[in-house]
Structure 1
Amino acid sequence: MRALFLLAIFVFALLANETAAQTEPPKLSEGDQKIKIKEIDAKLANNIWAREYANYMLYTKLERELALAKEQANKGTTDLELENQIKRLSAQLDALKDFAKSPFVTLLVPPNIEASPQITNPLALFGGFSYLKSLNQTKESYENLLKEIQIASKTLKEKKELLSDEAQIAELEAQISEFEIASVTANTTFSIFSKKIDESIAEINAKITAQIKHSFVILGSILSVFLIGIVAKFSIHHYMKDNQKFYTINKFINITGFIIIVFILLFAYIENVNYLITILGFASAGLAIAMKDMFMSLLGWSVILAGGSFHVGDRIKVRYENGDLVGDIIDISLLRMTLYEDITLTTYKQNRRSGRIIFIPNNYIFTATIANYTHSGMKTVWDGIDIAITFDSNHKKAVYIVKSIVRHYSKGFTDVAKTQMNKLRDQYSIKNTNVEPRIYTFLEPHAIVVSAWYKTNSYATLALRSNISADIIEAFNKENDIKIAYPRQTLYLGRDKGPLPSDEAWEQNS
Structure 2
Amino acid sequence: MMHKRLSGLLLLCGTLLFAEPVTAPVVPHKVQENNQSIVQKQALLKEEQRKASRINDLVREKQALDKELLENNIWSKIYSNYHTYVELKKQKEHLDEQISILDNKYKRTEEEEKAFEILKSKRSIINGKLQLLKEYESDPFKKFLQPPEITDVPTVGNPLAIISAISYIKKLKTDETEYESRYESIKNVMEKLKERELILKKILQYDTNNTKYKKELLDTQDKIKTFTPVVEIFKTTQNVYTKKIDELTLNLRADIKREMEKATSIGMVILFFILFTLLIKYLVRRYMSDNDRFYTINKALNLTFVTLMLLTLLFAYIENVNYIVTILGFASAGIAIAMKDWFMSIMGWFVIIIGGAIHVGDRVKFVREGVEYVGDVVDISLLRMTIQEDITLTTYMHNRRAGRIIFVPNNFIFTDMVANYSHAGLKTVWDGIDFMITFDSNVSKASSIAKEITKKYAKGYTEITRKQLNKLRSQYSMKNTNVEPRIYTFIEPYGIKISAWYHTNAYATLTLRSTISMEIIERLQAEDDIFLAFPTQSIYIDKDVRKPLPPEEIQNDGDTLA
Flag whether TM exceeds 0.5 (same fold): yes
Whether the aligned pair in 2 keeps the contact of 1:381 and 1:458 (CA below 8 Å) is: yes
Partner of 2:136: 99
Root mean square deviation, CA, Å: 2.7
C-alpha distance 436-79 of structure 1, shift in aligned 2 (>3 A): closer
Q: Partners of 2:411 and 2:123 in 1: how far apart?
A: 92
- Which residue in the other structure is 2:351 paired with? 303
Q: 1:66 aligns with which of 63, 72, 92?
A: 92
For each residue in 1:343-386, what CA deviation from the matched residue of structure 2 results, as whole angstroms up to 9, or x when unmatched? 11122222222222222222232222222111111121111112
1:136 corresponds to: 173
Q: Deviations over 1:405-441 (max 9, x none)?
A: 2222122222222222222223323233222222222
**Structure 1 residues 26 and 431, CA gap change in structure 2 (3 angstroms):** farther
2:68 corresponds in structure 1 to 43
Aligned residue for 1:504?
none
CA 1:292 to 1:146, structure 2 compared with 1: closer, same or farther past 3 Å? Answer: closer
What is the distance in 2 between the residues matched to 1:465 and 1:152? Answer: 105
Aligned with residue 212 of structure 1, among 243, 254, 260: 260
SS in 2 for 1:363: helix
CA positional deviation for 1:153? 1.8
What is the CA distance between 1:32 and its match in structure 2? 5.4
Matching of residues 72-151 of structure 1 within 5 Å: 72-76=98-102, 78=115, 82-104=119-141, 106-114=143-151, 116-151=153-188
Q: 2:81 is matched by which residue type in structure 1?
A: N
1:87-486 paired onto structure 2 within 5 Å: 87-104=124-141, 106-114=143-151, 116-163=153-200, 164=203, 165-486=213-534
Give the stretch that moved more between structures: 423-432 or 310-319: 423-432
**Rg larger in structure:** 2
Q: Give the drift of 1:464.
A: 0.9
* Equivalent position amino acid for 2:185 in 1: E
Mark the CA change 1:350 to 1:171 in structure 2 (over 3 Å): closer, same or farther.
Answer: closer
Alignment of 1:495-506 (within 5 A): none
For residues 166-220 of structure 1, give each alpha carbon's deviation from its aligned partner in whole angstroms, at most 9, with x where no partner exists.
3432432343344344434432332222222222222232333333333333433
Question: Which residue, out of 491, 498, 501, partners 2:539?
Answer: 491
The secondary structure found in structure 1 opposite 2:224 is helix
For residue 524 of structure 2, what is the amino acid of its counterpart?
Answer: F
Contact 1:387 1:451 in 2 (8 A): yes
What's the secondary structure of 2:159's corresponding residue?
Answer: coil
How many pairs align? 472
Give the C-alpha shift of residue 488 in structure 1.
Answer: 0.9
Partners of 2:495 and 2:287 lie apart in 1 by 57
Q: Which secondary structure does the structure 2 equivalent of 1:382 belong to?
A: strand
Task: Give 2:73's aligned amino acid.
Answer: N
Which stretch has the larger CA shift, 319-328 or 168-177?
168-177
5+ residue gaps in structure 1? 1-24, 497-510
Identity rate, percent: 47
Deviation at 1:271, TM superposition (A): 3.8
Residue 114 of structure 1 aligns to a residue in which SS?
A: coil
How far did 1:85 drift?
4.0
2:160 maps to a residue whose letter is L
The 3 A distance-change label for structure 1 pair 87 and 337 is closer
Tell me which residue corresponds to 1:501: none
Q: Spell out, residue by residue over 1:50-75, the C-alpha distance to the aligned partner (whole angstroms, 9 max, x if none).
A: 22223222222232233233334444
Task: Quickly say closer, same or farther: Cα 1:247–1:64, change in 2 above 3 A.
Answer: same
